[in-house]
Structure 1
Amino acid sequence: MKIKTDRFGELEIRKEDILNFATGLLAFEHLHNFILVEVAENPVFKWLQSTEDSEIAFLVVDPFVIKGDYSVYLSENIRTELEITAEEDVIIYTIVSVPLGGLKDATTNLMGPLVLNAKAHKGKQIVLENKELTIKYPLFPKVETKKVCGG
């Protein structure tokens, strides 16, 4: 089947590539079906493209690459809802925000990860209760530079 998108033009997709988010995403509860589109230049990133609204696509990233000690607890309710029976069925992404300053100032929402079961074609955005996490975790942390004065 074909879908039209503002960002990618017309895409040929397979029905089995569609991920169903039964409750939508936060602030986008009316959208339920999405596909993942590869970012050829950098496989750490993907686009989560709505199949229902051609304008809606979210840049997502593998949070474990960005923050090595990141962890997500999945309750039994979420595991049941997404039909998760094995850890290898679970894929986690977080949504990236790119401000006007460009990619160097991009952040990702570690508190609201997307939990996917690609095998069951289901997804859910959850909200983690870990107060140490942030919704604006920098993708590219600023490196402090110190001036050394000679003397």
Structure 2
Amino acid sequence: MIIQTTRFGEVEYEQNEEITFVNGVLGFEQMNQFVFMDHPGSPFQFLQSTLDPDLAFVVTDPFSFFQKYEFDLTDTVKNKLNLHSDMDVQIKVIITVRSETDITANLKAPIVINQSENKAVQLILDNPDYQIRHSIIMGGPSDADLIEE
């Protein structure tokens, strides 16, 4: 399949690479079809909408930056994603880049993906330690408890 995107031009992908968000992405609930695009040599990927050429998010594996980041998946989430094995779970968080020194991760609303079913949900965690703007630049004061030393 081929989509025309604003940022990346023409992008080709296989149907089995498309991720379906069960409830859409927060703030973009109607946008529920996405593909991951690698950013070579970087811990980041792009999550590009296949429905809207203008919509793409920068995402990453949060454990690359926050080794102590953790949360439990409820049975409701597992059922929505048809999850039967922890081996199928992949976690991503949305990154916001404001400048070279102001790059943050949204740990409050992780994306949980069932890799075998290509289904995803974005959760809102009820943990006051996780905010929508955790600095991924080492030394951020609000992240000291999440970074392994």
Q: Same fold (TM over 0.5)?
A: yes
Q: Distance in 1 between matches of 2:79 and 2:112?
A: 12
Distance 2:93 2:60 in 1: 5
Match of 2:15 in 1: 15
Identity %: 33
Where structure 1 has 5 or more consecutive residues not aligned to the other structure, the ranges are: 145-151
1:53 shift after superposition: 0.2
Identify the match of residue 105 of structure 2 among 89, 93, 108: 108
Residue 51 of structure 2 corresponds to which residue in structure 1? 52
Query: What is the alpha-carbon distance in structure 1 between the residues aligned to residue 136 and residue 114 of structure 2?
Result: 25
Query: Which runs of structure 2 are paired with 1:1-150 in the superposition (5 Å)?
Result: 1-42=1-42, 44-99=43-98, 102-142=99-139
Offset of residue 143 of structure 1: 7.3
**How far apart are the structure 2 equivalents of 1:24 and 1:143?**
30
CA change 1:122–1:143 in 2 (3 A) is closer
Give 3-state SS (helix, strand or coil) of 2:78's partner. helix
Inter-partner Cα distance in structure 2 for 1:84 and 1:35: 20
RMSD in angstroms over aligned alpha carbons? 1.3
1:9-59 deviation line (CA, Å, top 9, x unaligned):
1011111000000210110001010000001021x2110000000000000
Secondary structure, in 3 states, of the residue corresponding to 1:88? Answer: helix
Q: Which runs of 5+ in 2 are unaligned?
A: 142-149
Query: Does the Cα contact within 8 Å between 2:22 and 2:80 map onto a contact in 1?
Result: no
CA distance in 1: counterparts of 2:22 and 2:126, whole angstroms: 22
- What is the number of residues matched between the two proteins? 141
CA–CA separation in structure 2 for the residues paired with 1:114 and 1:72: 12
